[in-house]
Structures are given as structure tokens and as C-alpha cells.
Amino acid sequence: MSDSTATPSARPDPLERRALIVLVDGDADWRASAAGALRGHGYDVVACGSLKEVPREALRQDISRAADLLVVDAALADVATRRAAVGEDQPASFGDCPVLILAGARDDDAIERALEADAADFFIRSTHWQLLVERVRRLCHMADMKRELLASHDRLARAHTSARVGTFDFDLGSRTFHGSTGSFSILGFDSPRTAISADEFLRLVPRDRHEALFSATDHAIRADVPFALELPLRKVGGDWMTVRVEAEPRRNSNGRIAMLRGVIRDMTESVRAERDMERLISADPLTGLPNRNRFLALCTEAVAEARRHGRQVAVVAIDLDRFTQINESLGQVAGDEAICAIAERLAGELARLAGSGQCRGDGRPGGGPGSEAAARAEAVLARLPGDEFAVLVPMVLDLWHVDAMVDALLRDLGRPLTIAGTECFVTACAGIALYPRDGDTAGLLLAHADSALADAKLRGSRSFRWYAPAPNVDARARLKMLSGLHKAIERGELSLSYQPCVDVVHGTLIGVEALARWRHHGMVVPPTEFIPLAEQSGLIVQIGEWAIREASRQIRTWRDQGLRVPKVSVNISTLHFEKPSLAETVRDAIVEHRLEPGMLEIELTESCMVRDFSRTLGALHALRDLGVVLSLDDFGTGYSSLSYLTRLPIGKLKVDRSFVRLLGVSAEGEAVVRAIIALGRSLRLQVVAEGVEDVAQARALLGMKCHAMQGFLLAHPVAASQLPEEMARIAERARLASDRTAPARRARIGSAYHGVVQ
Ligand code: C2E
Ligand code: MG
Ligand code: MG
């Protein structure tokens, strides 16, 4: 018989829910007194003489009115099977409900059996009600905590599944992969699994990657260090995917490494976005040839390879003579057709020369198609903007062969071409630069090849020249500028201009970028001129330190004036990241000017990754640990691989303005920007578009859901003193733009910016 005051039924407000105790004891008097004592302490109690009388609902864990604690006579409970004969016929499970055993003073055996079978605690039946209540309170509290833990575990698992991340433990003894729901969903298991054998896991990994996986895990275990590995995987359903596995060895209680614990992350979307982007940003859409970006990247690789082996690399710039005449007389479409025909002709001639070994620059027969050495050594043709092409000769043993190659290319171009039914004659000139003689970076080699090309142009069509530095004039001017730059900081000639970055949808200021200006002899030297010089001379480190201090001082001044500038970003050169002092400079500036670290942002470029990556990574982590935001500038112009990108602790990515400029110009351009934005999103970074100059670009970006923009359309860089005015203008625009009742006023403002948000 059940003497209950609490009928198990769902309660509307879980916050008001009192703990429900099911009390089962054959002694009716004791039961009634115990129930009274518990009720007196705020518990709901269902008291029964036997388990059969317990209402089934009270033991069902899936309803809110389930018991929080079962207090049961040791003689009545079959704790070992965690089942109770409930109701008329079938037994019901009391599964996870904690059990407090009631026992007599001499029931040692029953107590021991019950505890072994997982009862939570015992109470020697007595009238010490305070003691009973305390024990019940403790067990209810523990049950609450366990429920909370399970709920947060469940929340975490759901978050992981939606972020395509899972956790796992790989047990080295049993060679079993124990994974979270997220892990198994990534691996494509439909039915719920919690563990699979190592062999089952390996069946998903292509055979040729087993070795990489074994050696990474073996090394991690032997050296007791974490490891990270990107792997292609064939999901259970057969689809291919890319995952990143990060794990570290864990020791058991004996101190031996017993498992690898880690996370598995689905990288498929990011890898796809990167591949699309790489394809789009590395090829010229008209001819399909590598574009300038790709050419520079290949050239950088060739220079690095040549440096290792003490070899030479040639860069040839080719420019068509009077090509504008074709465009003007036959039209743009015919001009495009001509560019394609010329590209084909150059590629054909290079292939012919490769067959004879000539365009490898060493004059020896080629290594045959498919040979890796030949592939690396063969010349690469690229299309630069306009009517310019470039050829990279990665391995030059004899300069004479480069001469012969260029001569052959120019001569072959001279053959008549039929464009739009008209026979045309195209001629070209070329300039050549050589690594290491004429420069040691891709950019410099191409610039010097261009300057040799300009020289060749002066000598008439079909001529070509090797780069020859202009005697000293250039060098002297540079030296003068450098000595001026050395004194610029102490003379106070450097200053920072600030360009706002705006959330165009809400019209809010996201932050400002600090851009260096040098006032020298009454003229403003643009950063594009003095920053490269400062980089070459190493002076850029001092300039970077000055910029951090100056920007921090300015933030404090604005703060003191009551101006809320959300964030100021400072550009830091690649070289500077290799100096251990960088984080210190930032920390000192933050402390000196009492800034919250989130107010300072550091912009770095992709070239950081090409240099000493591990050192750069260390510097970036040190900065991030200070709370400074890191942003990857000019994104897309460098050559960052996804595996580097994912390891950078960056929070923001700035799409270079050379891509933004393509918006509205070509479908390919649009696809490039879309791919960059998708990549940024898949890496969960904030994406900012740089160099937004017109409404069409801004609209296109909004269509791609890129709301953060920087560019002349929104605001030019201004002196610190003008920023309050600029901010007021941005705020006013936002107010007017959101004021839907004042179209006339909006139109009066006539700002292009309104055209964007309307
Ligand atoms: P950045 O970091 O990409 O800065 C943006 C540049 O784009 C700035 O040029 C800015 O004036 C310009 N810009 C902004 N909106 C537009 C637009 O709509 N159209 C066009 N055409 N340009 C726009 P700026 O100030 O000449 O700086 C050029 C580069 O010099 C910067 O590019 C940055 O790489 C470097 N730089 C500037 N200040 C510093 C500095 O303090 N330290 C270092 N290491 N580099 C700096
Ligand atoms: Mg920048
Ligand atoms: Mg930039």
C-alpha cells in the first residue's frame, strides 16, 4: 500500500520542483515517521510497503516526475540487477536512480552486497531523522550534479556535431577507437557507435597514408608529444573527406602511456574552398595560364630550390608591341582572341624547345615527359596583366641557352596570326633577370625583368635585354632616402593616419587601421615607397615598434577625450615577427597606456608563413596570449597553404583590394572573392574586404554576406585629429540610412554609401 502525498505527475515549472524520494520499507510505523521527517525538510515523498506498490512513473527516468532517490530496505531491493518488481506484472528498471539502502544494525552482509552492486549509500534504520535527512540531501545533490554534467556533456556533443568536430580516445592496449557521437557522425556511421577497432578505423584511411599515420602516432607516443595530421578518409558511405586529427598521449594510473586522446575535425569544406580559391586565384581566366600570383609563387619556390643547390633561375618578361592597336582596330573581343592565340603560340614554342632540351636553360635533352626532375626544371609560361607574359626558367646552367630560348620565342611570335578573319602581325620585346645576380626574391626578379624589358622597348621591336642595374643613380637616391628614414623617427617625421573599417549593414565602426606616413622635406612619401626600403634595411622593426607605441598612445588620448574607437590595427612586417621583442613591445605599450588588449590589433601578411614558420607561430601565440587580435592582411596575394592557415591563431582575414577590384568586372573575379570569403567563413574568421571603392563592389560584397568593409567609398585614411569628425560622419550616415521615413534627406546626402545599404 502506498501512502503518498505526491502523485507523480509532470510539474509545469522545473525551477519549483522539489526532490522526490521514493521510500520503500515494510515497517509501516517507521516508514510513516521517516516520510514525515523528510517532508518536514521540503521533500516530496512516495512511501510504499513494497517495491510492487511504487507507481511505475516514479521510476521512469524520462519524465520530470521521476524519483530523485530511492530509499529502500536492503531485503526488498534487488540492487544488483537494478530492477524492481513494480506494478502488477512486469518489473521496471530503476536504472540511474541513486539508491540508499536501509539496513538493520547487524545487516553487514546486505550492506556490503548492496554497495558492491552500486547502491549509493546506506542508512542503519533508526530514528535519527537528522542523519537520514542529511544523507538524503547529499545524495540528491550528487544526483543533481550528475544530471547537470550529463546535460552539459550532451550540449557539448551537440555543439561538436554541428561544428563537425568529435573527440576520441584511442586505447593503445585494446587498440580500440572510442569516439564521441560527433566523431562517429564525421566518419559517416549512421547507427550510434561508441567504439570501433583500430582495423575498422584503418579501413577508412587510404593505404598509402597508413605509414604517415603510424609514424605520427609512434613518434607522439615515443616522445610523449602531441601530434596533428591531415588525412583523407573514405566515409562509411563511401564519400571522400579530409579530416584533421590532433591528439596527445595520456598516461594511466601506473604512469604508462595508455591512450591517445584527441579531436577529429572535418576539414572537407575548408579544403574544397581552398582548392577552388587556389584554382581561381592562380589562373588567368582568359588563357588558363598561371597568373601573376601563381607565377610569383612558383618563382619563389624555384629560387628557394636554386639557393639550396647553388643554381641560377631566369625570369623573362615579354610584352607585345603596339597591342593596343589590335584592341582599338578590331575590338576587345578580337583582342582577347589574339591574347589566347599568342599564349598558345608561346606555349607551343616552349614545348618544342623543351623537347630539344633548350628551354630548360641547360641545353641538355629533357628528362622526358612525366619525369619529376624534368617537370621541375621545365620553363613555366604565365600571363601577367594586359599584354604581358612571363617565363620562368627554374634551372639555368648556361646564359646563352636562355638567350637562344628568348630569341626563338620572339621570332616565332613574328609569324602572322589570323584574328577575327584579319591577318595580324604581332611582335614583342623581352627583358631577362637572373637569380642570384639580379635579385633574390621573385618580386625583385620580375621587377628587374620588367625594367630590362623597358630598356629593350627603347631599342625597337623584337629586341630583348638582360637586366643591368642603372649605374649608381638609383643606388645613391636609395641611400639618401634610407639615411633620411633612419632619422625620421627621432625627428618626428613619421605619423599615423587612420582609416575606418565599417560594418556596412549596421553602419557601425568596427575599427581603424593605422597607416604610416612619412613627411620628408615637405613632401609625403607614400608607404609603398619607404616600407619596402625599410624592410630591406631592417629598419622596419624600429618603425613597427614606433607604430605600436604611437597607436597605443593615440588610443589612450582618444579614450581620455571620451572617443570610443573600438579597435586600432597596426601593420607589422614579416621580419618583425622573427624578433623575440615584438610581444614585449606590445605588452609594454598596453601597460604604459592602460589599454585593454582587445583594443589593439596586429596585421600580418601571408609572407610570414613562408619564412621561419615555427618562430612566427611562437610570436603569434605570444601576442594572442596577451589578448591582441591578429588579422591576416592582403589575403590571397601570398601563398598560404590551408594547413598553415588553420594553425595560425588569427581572428580576421582581410581580402586584398586587388580581388575586390575585380568585382563587377568579371564573373571570375566575383568567384575568387566568393571563394576567399567562403574560406574565411569555414575557418570561422571575420572577413573584411579592403579597397572598396564603389557601390557596385560594396553591393556585390553584401550579396556574399561580407559586411565588414574598408575603402575609399566608406572613408579615406585621416589624421588622428580628424577621426572624431570622420566617426561622426559614419554615425550620421548610419542614422540617415536607417531612417526609412526620410528618403528625401537620404537622397540629399547623395552619398554612395546609402546606395549600398538601401
Ligand atoms: P595595407 O595594410 O593593405 O593598407 C591598406 C592600403 O590600402 C593603404 O595604403 C590604404 O590607404 C589603401 N586603401 C584603402 N582603401 C583604398 C581604396 O578604396 N582604394 C585604394 N586604391 N587604396 C585603398 P597605404 O597607406 O598607401 O599603405 C600601403 C601599404 O603599406 C599597407 O597596405 C601596408 O602594407 C604598408 N604599411 C602602411 N603602414 C605601415 C606600417 O606602419 N608598417 C608596415 N609594416 N607596413 C605599413
Ligand atoms: Mg593592413
Ligand atoms: Mg591590406
Model confidence over 679-723: pLDDT tens digits? 888 888 999 999 999 888 999 999 999 999 999 999 999 999 999
Q: Tell the residue nearest (CA) to atom 22 of ligand 1.
A: 691
In the reported structure, the alpha carbon of residue 715 is separated from the centroid of ligand 2 by a whole-number distance in angstroms of 15
Output the pLDDT for position 558.
95
Output the pLDDT for position 58.
67
In the reported structure, the alpha carbon of residue 602 is separated from the centroid of ligand 2 by a whole-number distance in angstroms of 9
Alpha-carbon distance 304 to 376, whole Å? Answer: 13
Q: Is the pLDDT of residue 364 over 60?
A: no
Output the pLDDT for position 96.
67
DSSP 647-688: HS---EEEE-HHHHTTTTT-HHHHHHHHHHHHHHHHTT-EEE
Q: Tell the residue nearest (CA) to atom 19 of ligand 1.
A: 691
Strands laid side by side in the 44-48 sheet? 2-4, 44-48, 20-24, 69-73, 99-103, 121-124
Lowest mean pLDDT among 397-401, 532-536, 656-660, 753-757: 753-757
In the reported structure, the alpha carbon of residue 603 is separated from the centroid of ligand 2 by a whole-number distance in angstroms of 6
Ligand 1 atom closest to the Cα of residue 692 is 18
Q: Tell the residue nearest (CA) to atom 33 of ligand 1.
A: 571
In the reported structure, the alpha carbon of residue 703 is separated from the centroid of ligand 2 by a whole-number distance in angstroms of 24
In the reported structure, the alpha carbon of residue 550 is separated from the centroid of ligand 2 by a whole-number distance in angstroms of 16
DSSP state of 78: B
Output the pLDDT for position 625.
92
Q: What is the mean pLDDT of the chain?
A: 82
Looking at per-residue pLDDT, the higher value among 688 and 641 belongs to 688
- Which ligand number lies closest to the CA of residue 688? 3
In the chain, the percentage of residues whose pLDDT exceeds 70 is: 84
Lowest mean pLDDT among 2-16, 317-331, 424-438: 2-16
Alpha-carbon distance 10 to 445, whole Å? Answer: 78
Ligand 1 atom closest to the Cα of residue 516 is 38
Q: Tell the residue nearest (CA) to atom 6 of ligand 1.
A: 691
The model's pTM is 0.54
Instruction: Calculate the CA 171 to chain-centre distance.
Output: 31
In the reported structure, the alpha carbon of residue 439 is separated from the centroid of ligand 2 by a whole-number distance in angstroms of 26
The rounded radius of gyration (Å) of the Cα atoms in the chain is 36
Q: Are 2 and 55 in contact (CB under 8 A)?
A: yes
Ligand 1 atom closest to the Cα of residue 712 is 18
Q: Tell the residue nearest (CA) to atom 10 of ligand 1.
A: 717
In the reported structure, the alpha carbon of residue 146 is separated from the centroid of ligand 3 by a whole-number distance in angstroms of 51
In the reported structure, the alpha carbon of residue 425 is separated from the centroid of ligand 3 by a whole-number distance in angstroms of 41
Three-state SS string over 189-249 comes to CCCCCCEEEHHHHHCCCCHHHHHHHHHHHHHHHHHCCCEEEEEEEECCCCCEEEEEEEEEE
Q: Tell the residue nearest (CA) to atom 20 of ligand 1.
A: 691
Q: Quick one: pLDDT band at residue 7, thresholds 50, 70, 90? A: very low
In the reported structure, the alpha carbon of residue 545 is separated from the centroid of ligand 2 by a whole-number distance in angstroms of 16
Ligand 1 atom closest to the Cα of residue 544 is 42
* Residue reference for cell 627554374: 394
Q: Tell the residue nearest (CA) to atom 15 of ligand 1.
A: 711
Alpha-carbon distance 295 to 318, whole Å? Answer: 14
Lowest mean pLDDT among 58-62, 78-82, 439-443: 78-82
Q: Tell the residue nearest (CA) to atom 11 of ligand 1.
A: 717
In the reported structure, the alpha carbon of residue 500 is separated from the centroid of ligand 3 by a whole-number distance in angstroms of 13
Output the pLDDT for position 199.
93
Output the pLDDT for position 14.
42
Q: Is the pLDDT of residue 10 over 50?
A: no
Question: Whose CA is closest to 313, among 178, 444, 493?
Answer: 444
In the reported structure, the alpha carbon of residue 513 is separated from the centroid of ligand 2 by a whole-number distance in angstroms of 7
- Which ligand number lies closest to the CA of residue 501? 1
Residue 371 makes CB contacts below 8 A (sequence gap 6+) with none
DSSP state of 576: G
- Tell me the per-residue pLDDT of 104-140, one tens digit each, with 9 for 90 and over: 877 777 777 777 767 788 888 899 999 999 999 988 8
Output the pLDDT for position 643.
65
Tell me which of 498, 517, 519, 531 to substitute to probe ligand 1's pocket, judged by most ligand atoms within 8 Å of the beta carbon.
531
Helix axis angle for 292-309 and 268-282, nearest 10°, is: 100
Neighbour tally for 341: CB within 10 Å: 16
In the reported structure, the alpha carbon of residue 77 is separated from the centroid of ligand 2 by a whole-number distance in angstroms of 72
Q: Are 359 and 367 in contact (CB under 8 A)?
A: no
Ligand 1 atom closest to the Cα of residue 603 is 2
Q: Is the pLDDT of residue 17 over 70?
A: no
- Which ligand number lies closest to the CA of residue 692? 1
List, chain by chain if needed, residues with CB within 6 Å of any ligand 1 atom. Answer: 499, 515-516, 526-528, 531, 540, 543-544, 547, 571-573, 603, 633-634, 657, 690-693, 710-712, 717
Q: Are 149 and 134 in contact (CB under 8 A)?
A: no
Output the pLDDT for position 247.
92
Kindly report each contact of residues 102-106 with a partner whose C-beta sits within 8 Å and lies 24 or more positions away, as own/partner. 102/25, 102/71, 102/72, 102/73, 102/74, 103/73, 103/74
Q: Which residue type sits at 551?
A: A
Q: Are 125 and 104 in contact (CB under 8 A)?
A: yes
Q: What is the largest CA-CA distance in the chain?
A: 118
- Which ligand number lies closest to the CA of residue 655? 3
Ligand 1 atom closest to the Cα of residue 534 is 44
- Which ligand number lies closest to the CA of residue 498? 1
Ligand 1 atom closest to the Cα of residue 717 is 11
Q: Tell the residue nearest (CA) to atom 25 of ligand 1.
A: 515
Q: Tell the residue nearest (CA) to atom 43 of ligand 1.
A: 571
Instruction: Calculate the CA 354 to chain-centre distance.
Output: 40
Q: Tell the residue nearest (CA) to atom 4 of ligand 1.
A: 515
In the reported structure, the alpha carbon of residue 515 is separated from the centroid of ligand 1 by a whole-number distance in angstroms of 6
In the reported structure, the alpha carbon of residue 15 is separated from the centroid of ligand 1 by a whole-number distance in angstroms of 56
Output the pLDDT for position 477.
74
Task: With residue 686 as reference, give the H or E element that holds it.
Answer: strand 686-689
Output the pLDDT for position 82.
52
Ligand 1 atom closest to the Cα of residue 693 is 18
Task: With residue 744 as reference, give the H or E element that holds it.
Answer: helix 743-749
Compute the average pLDDT of residues 36-64.
78
Tell me which of 517, 573, 690 to substitute to probe ligand 1's pocket, judged by most ligand atoms within 8 Å of the beta carbon.
690
Alpha-carbon distance 472 to 490, whole Å? Answer: 28
Cα dihedral 302→303→304→308 (10° resolution): 100
Ligand 1 atom closest to the Cα of residue 573 is 44
Q: Are 646 and 265 in contact (CB under 8 A)?
A: no
- Cell numbers at residue 497, please? 593616419
Q: Tell the residue nearest (CA) to atom 7 of ligand 1.
A: 691
- Tell me the per-residue pLDDT of 474-530, one tens digit each, with 9 for 90 and over: 667 777 888 899 999 889 999 999 999 999 988 899 999 999 999 988 888 888 888
Neighbour tally for 98: CB within 10 Å: 19
- Strand residue runs (E) in 521-611: 523-525, 568-571, 600-605
For 258-281, give one letter per residue: b (16+ CB within 10 A) or e: bbbebbbbbbbbbbbbbebbbebb
Task: With residue 96 as reference, give the H or E element that holds it.
Answer: none
Q: Which residue type sits at 306?
A: A
Compute the average pLDDT of residues 382-396.
92
In the reported structure, the alpha carbon of residue 64 is separated from the centroid of ligand 1 by a whole-number distance in angstroms of 61
Output the pLDDT for position 737.
61
Alpha-carbon distance 637 to 68, whole Å? Answer: 62
Alpha-carbon distance 7 to 586, whole Å? Answer: 65
